[in-house]
Amino acid sequence: MKNPAEIKALAYERLEEAKILCEAGKYDGAFYLAGYSIELMLKAKVCEQVGIDNLFDFDEKGKAAYGVSEIRKAVRTHDISVLLMLSGLKVKFDEAKSDNKKLLKANGLLFENSGKCLWNEQVRYQVNLQKQDNVQNLIDLLIDDEGVLKWIETN
């Protein structure tokens, strides 16, 4: 992936895969991929904010472009709360939740009241913990034109 557009496309691809898994009754995997789509979209936004076209790629010698390795260290996290801050969207997201009910609902499925993220890379190891309704609601809220992915992409 050489640019934010490709990372965004991958975010939507992972969301489509989450939808397929959910339809097949594989709710834990669907929840993981749905959250991963948010992680990718936020990383694309960070790339846009700092002007990086190659966050994940290396040159032929296995090195990142000058300065990219430092940014890569900062965004190596899978914590979407941290990525929301690094993207510069945290304050705007918190404000938008009061007007956008879809963001508010998605927030409730992704974060505890304390702001702690319920989704993290460790959920990929869960078995039979996710409920169909919650996962389907999250996917619907991500797919929606007023949902989280479009909101991140356009802000």
Q: How far apart are CA 36 and CA 30, in angstroms?
A: 10
Q: If you search the block for the tokens 């990929």, which residue do you land on?
A: 124
- In the three-class reduction of DSSP (H, G, I as helix; E, B as strand; rest coil), residue 98 is classed as coil
Q: How far apart are CA 72 and CA 97, in angstroms?
A: 29
Question: Band of the pLDDT at 14, cuts 50, 70, 90?
Answer: very high
Residues 99-136 pLDDT 10s: 988 888 888 877 765 545 566 666 777 777 678 988 99
66: nearest Cα among 81, 89, 50, 79: 50
Residue 28, domain extent: 4-154
Looking at per-residue pLDDT, the higher value among 77 and 150 belongs to 150
Q: Quick check: 97 pLDDT over 80?
A: yes
- The continuous run of DSSP H or E covering 104 comes out as helix 101-110
Q: How many domains does the chain have?
A: 1
Residues 55-76 pLDDT 10s: 666 555 555 556 666 777 777 7
Q: Quick check: 35 pLDDT over 90?
A: yes
